[in-house]
Amino acid sequence: MAANIESFREWVPIRIYTRDSEPFVDWCYAGSARFTEPFFNDTIQRILRRPFSVLFRHQTQLDFLRELETECPGLDPTGFIFHMSRCGSTLVAQMLAAVTKNIVISEAPPIDSIVRYRGATADSRRDALKWMVGALGQPRSGCEKYYFIKFDSWNILDLDVIRSAFPNVPWIFLYRDPVEVIVSQMRQRGSHMVPGAIKHSLPDLGLEAALQMSPEEYCARILGRICESAAAPAMDPNSLLVNYDQLPDAVGDLILPHFNVSFDADQIRQMYEAAQFNAKTPQLFFEPDRESKRSEASDTVRQNAEKWVVPIYERLEELRRDRLVKL
């Protein structure tokens, strides 16, 4: 009993897992559902409210994605969003998702699993990433034209693999004042801020040493490394650096032109309407929090920001201004 490969257009790969040392893909039926929630898993959670999607799930070998890519290629990616975390990337993704002709995949675990997988060659990861991006970029309603992917913040550490798979796709890197980002992480730490949770994030630092340092220092070191990974290729014409301070106007003024896309007036209005809401909790209106974050910053936060992140943040700012001069 084999399913028609065409029918997989309405199914979504939701996770990769290992069975008998082989990578497998778990799929759920999504029909014409759009990815409108702040994160990929939030949308999957909504889809899994449908009993059918919970009970009847395809399980395929990872290589099946290659067949799907051949038979039913998804949209080509329009633009990639990288970020240092807590810096407006979800806002940008939510603004793009407000326009129905856009597919926006935000921090999808199946993509992260491939990008971070160390048990295969770089070429195998590159190929698997192309297939997975194709599977997630299937047009479901017929009106989709553009396809954006927001990666997990730590995925920029593997930018070489992503760029080898998609050398011509324009990308942006979003960043923010380091003190404000560290304060946000101290309020509620992301998984990459837990020592050992994301392997290879600080290759020169052993787990024991990481566990002995303050959370502020570990966080600052991770943020520094993420920003360094963005600074090195920042003169690539496919890249664009965007500071949180430039949002939300930068979406229409800089990011859309960089991604070579144009929206009509109605779509621009929809996009900026989405910016009025809290990106991660869209039921609430957006409230500026810069002052509260700065006033909450402890000396430990400030010292570690200064030591581990501010120099590379200032370098990003220089690079961003240099690019503006050249444009």
Partner 1 sequence: MIVRDFEFFRRMILSDETLQEQLRDLTERDQFVTRVVELGEIHNCSFSIAEVDEAMREGRRVWVQG
- Specify the residue, 33 or 99, whose C-beta has the smaller distance to partner 1: 33
- Specify the residue, 56 or 245, whose C-beta has the smaller distance to partner 1: 56
Q: Do 219 and 185 touch, CB atoms closer than 8 A?
A: yes
DSSP state letter for 193:
G
State the minimum distance, in angstroms, from the CB of residue 30 to partner 1. 10
Beta strands in 48-97 (DSSP E): 59-61, 79-83
State the minimum distance, in angstroms, from the CB of residue 86 to partner 1. 23
Report d(CA 243, CA 201) in Å as an integer.
23
For 37, 262, 310, the CA distances from 271, given in Å and listed in that order, are: 14, 12, 32
- Specify the residue, 61 or 298, whose C-beta has the smaller distance to partner 1: 61
Residue type at 326?
Answer: K
- Specify the residue, 29 or 166, whose C-beta has the smaller distance to partner 1: 29
State the minimum distance, in angstroms, from the CB of residue 31 to partner 1. 7
How many helical (H) and strand (E) elements, i.e. helices and strands, does the chain have? 16, 8
State the minimum distance, in angstroms, from the CB of residue 25 to partner 1. 13
- Specify the residue, 64 or 146, whose C-beta has the smaller distance to partner 1: 64
State the minimum distance, in angstroms, from the CB of residue 53 to partner 1. 8
Short-list 189, 76, 95, CA closest to 139:
76
Report d(CA 35, CA 22) in Å as an integer.
29
Binding site residues, partner 1, CB under 8 A: 1-4, 7, 14-15, 17, 26, 28-29, 31, 44, 48-52, 54-58, 109
* Tokens 């957006």, residue located: 286
- Specify the residue, 198 or 309, whose C-beta has the smaller distance to partner 1: 198
Q: Is the dihedral of CA 150, 125, 135, 258 positive or negative?
A: positive
- Specify the residue, 58 or 294, whose C-beta has the smaller distance to partner 1: 58
Tokens encoding 279: 């990106």
- Specify the residue, 60 or 300, whose C-beta has the smaller distance to partner 1: 60
State the minimum distance, in angstroms, from the CB of residue 10 to partner 1. 9
Tokens encoding 115: 């990008």
Short-list 135, 34, 146, 132, CA closest to 80:
146
State the minimum distance, in angstroms, from the CB of residue 7 to partner 1. 6
Tokens encoding 239: 């890249």
What lies within 8 Å, CB to CB, of 76 at 6+ separation is 137, 147, 169
State the minimum distance, in angstroms, from the CB of residue 199 to partner 1. 15
**Dihedrals φ, ψ of 84, to 5°?**
-95, 5
